[in-house]
């Protein structure tokens, strides 16, 4: 019984550490990133996906972000596949108890984009110069709903 309780305690502390690391990484996200790869998937089938490499850039303004949506968001933009710059706001989300990154419309005028990356993204991996995130809900590309996996590399 003691071993079982010890094991449960270790698992809980690892999970808490991961959530803390996710929040810290997203809170400190800032600067310019290259979209090293972006994978778009129409379904759960691997054969129904396409990956673009070096497909553009993301920029996250250096500001304090907050989980409370009503308190605002930070500014950012992305450029995908040489399209015009798309301005967005970003902040923390807490989806299903998991710290996530919310990318939403801000107050800036926007242009119609081939790829609409507005949504909530779960944190997959973050190291010093690389961030991998997955869309929790589907986003839109040419009016088709897809799931997205983004690998961003800090410039």
* Residue 81 backbone class (left: φ over 0; alpha: ψ -120 to 50; beta: rest): left
Strands 119-127 and 56-60: unpaired
| pLDDT for residue 153 | 92
pLDDT in tens, 106-145: 765 555 666 778 888 888 887 778 888 998 888 877 777 8
Beta carbons of 26 and 99 less than 8 angstroms apart = yes
Residue 36: band (very low, low, confident or very high) from pLDDT cuts 50, 70, 90: very high
**Range list of β-strands (E), 42-118:** 49-53, 56-60, 74-80, 86-95, 98-104, 115-116
38-to-35, 41, 67, 77, 115 alpha-carbon distances in Å: 7, 10, 26, 16, 11
- Class of residue 91 by CB neighbours under 10 A (exposed 0-12, middle 13-18, buried 19+): buried
Give all strands (DSSP E) within 15-143, no chain letters: 31-41, 49-53, 56-60, 74-80, 86-95, 98-104, 115-116, 119-127, 130-135, 139-141
Domains and CATH numbers, the chain: 2-154 (2.40.128)
Please, are residues 58 and 74 in contact by the beta-carbon 8 Å criterion? no
Q: 33 pLDDT band (50/70/90 cuts)?
A: very high
Condensed to tens digits (0 to 9), the pLDDT of residues 79-92 reads 988 888 888 888 87
């Amino acid at each position: 019984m003691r071993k079982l309780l010890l094991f449960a305690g270790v698992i809980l502390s690892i999970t808490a550490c991961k959530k803390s690391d996710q929040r810290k990484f997203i809170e400190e996200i800032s600067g310019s990133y290259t979209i090293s790869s972006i994978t778009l998937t129409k379904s759960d089938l691997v054969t129904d996906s396409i990956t673009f490499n070096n497909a553009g850039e993301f920029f996250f303004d250096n500001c304090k972000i907050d989980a409370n949506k009503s308190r605002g968001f930070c500014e950012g933009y992305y450029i995908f596949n040489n399209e015009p710059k798309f301005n967005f706001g970003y902040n923390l989300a807490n989806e299903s108890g998991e710290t996530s990154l919310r990318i939403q419309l801000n107050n800036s005028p926007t242009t119609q984009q081939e790829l609409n990356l507005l949504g909530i993204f779960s944190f997959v991996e973050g190291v010093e110069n690389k961030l991998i995130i997955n869309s929790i809900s589907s986003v839109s590309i040419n009016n088709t709903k897809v799931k997205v996996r983004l690998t961003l590399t800090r410039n």
